[in-house]
Amino acid sequence: MVTTQQAIPFLDLKRVNAAHDASIRAAISRVLDSGWYILGNEVSCFEQEFAAYCEVKHCIGVADGLDALHLILRAYGIGDGDEVIVPSNTFIATWLAVSQAGAQPVPVEPDEATHNLDPACIEAAITARTKAIMPVHLYGQPADMAPILEIARRHGLKVIEDAAQAHGARYLGRRTGGLGDAAGFSFYPGKNLGALGDGGAITTNDDALAARLRMLRNYGSSIKYHHEVAGVNSRLDEIQAAVLRAKLPALDAENAARRRLAAAYFEALQDAPVLLPKAVAGAESVWHLMVVRTDRRADLQAALSRAEIGHMVHYPIACHAQQAYAHQTWPDLPIAERLQGQLLSLPIAPYMTEQEVSRIADVVKTALR
């Protein structure tokens, strides 16, 4: 008898949200029935709930993660002529946030083993124009924040966390979102806490920054039709805030499920010829992505595709090598360039089973034997 194996998609969002079906439908109905669709009760309740979750004073809902990062820079007055240190390996939004603010992204290489910004490389990139460091908690693992914060303090720089991949992760016991001066989150559907469309938020303990951001996101206005600054329209929708409120209570359990799956991957792949990410000391990852490294990526991709197992590359082209940034000359970034050719993301999602992980690991081991 031939047993047919079920395909394993890279990420099945319908299945992610099916776990919250009743509460999401109730949340959407509540907004529909309220007759209030922008900056109402759902957004302010979500802001309070997410601030409490991140263990910070303030949360400000915005349209998406890119806006969250960009508006933090604007609110700090970082722009023309200023430089912001960013990782050389990240999703392009980190860099675009800096560019949109009118400032210059200055790439610093990651620690190759953890994929996160290497604190030892930061000081060489600081100039008289540097205003901030923007570490990314890449793939769900917090960056090595203690040395980053120490360098920032010594040079008078802001630390802005790109926490778009790390909702709920901890560093030395504390949640991401409260580790630096301010943090940007994304609620893009595929993130660990995802909406049914775009969404984002800023978290901070800085009262003045929070007040300025509330104004900036809403046409620069805190009193209707009174505009103190030339702000933007970047608001989290009531309907998305209601959906996020329905999903937030399960986030810790979903992150715990991701951690169990990651442990299963580590166990199953311990002798396989792939490099697994190394833990940052003191960091507790939420495993947004399960990324392995191999110099035989094409073989692995082919084998996974044959076995109907989803896979992706995060990210195939480093930011400085993108056409969008081709008009500038960049320093040599050999680590980012090496990683873009070797990284491969395997499926990880809260609904997956350890059996599926072991099946995927078998395909990986057979492919690279």
Give the interface with ligand PLP as residue ranges (CB under 6 A). Answer: 64-66, 90-91, 93-94, 136, 162, 164-165, 186, 188, 198, 200
User: Least distance to ligand PLP from the beta carbon of 132, Å?
Assistant: 15
Considering beta carbons, is residue 181 or 198 the nearer one to ligand PLP? 198
Strand stretches in the chain, DSSP E: 58-62, 83-87, 104-108, 130-133, 158-162, 170-171, 174-175, 182-186, 200-204, 221-223, 226-227, 283-284, 290-293, 343-346
Residue 305: both structure tokens together: 């595709």
User: Least distance to ligand PLP from the beta carbon of 273, Å?
Assistant: 28
Considering beta carbons, is residue 56 or 166 the nearer one to ligand PLP? 166
Considering beta carbons, is residue 62 or 152 the nearer one to ligand PLP? 62
DSSP class of 309? B
Q: Give the 3-state secondary structure of residue 209.
A: helix
Considering beta carbons, is residue 53 or 95 the nearer one to ligand PLP? 95
User: Least distance to ligand PLP from the beta carbon of 124, Å?
Assistant: 23
Q: Which residue is nearest to ligand PLP (CB)?
A: 65
**Euclidean distance between CA atoms 152 and 46, whole angstroms:** 31
User: Least distance to ligand PLP from the beta carbon of 198, Å?
Assistant: 6
Considering beta carbons, is residue 116 or 264 the nearer one to ligand PLP? 116
User: Least distance to ligand PLP from the beta carbon of 206, Å?
Assistant: 20
User: Least distance to ligand PLP from the beta carbon of 138, Å?
Assistant: 7
Considering beta carbons, is residue 141 or 186 the nearer one to ligand PLP? 186
Whose structure tokens read 């349209």? 63
CA angle (92, 340, 134) in 5-degree steps? 35
Q: Do residues 92 and 322 touch, judged by C-beta distance below 8 A?
A: yes
User: Least distance to ligand PLP from the beta carbon of 174, Å?
Assistant: 20
Considering beta carbons, is residue 94 or 268 the nearer one to ligand PLP? 94
Strand stretches in 23-91, DSSP E: 58-62, 83-87
**Euclidean distance between CA atoms 161 and 183, whole angstroms:** 4
Q: What are the DSSP calls for 223-275, one per residue?
A: ETTEESS---B---BHHHHHHHHHHGGGHHHHHHHHHHHHHHHHHHTTTSSSB
Q: Do residues 262 and 285 touch, judged by C-beta distance below 8 A?
A: yes
Dihedral angle computed from the Cα positions of residues 107, 112, 117 and 122, in that order, rounded to the nearest 10 degrees: -60
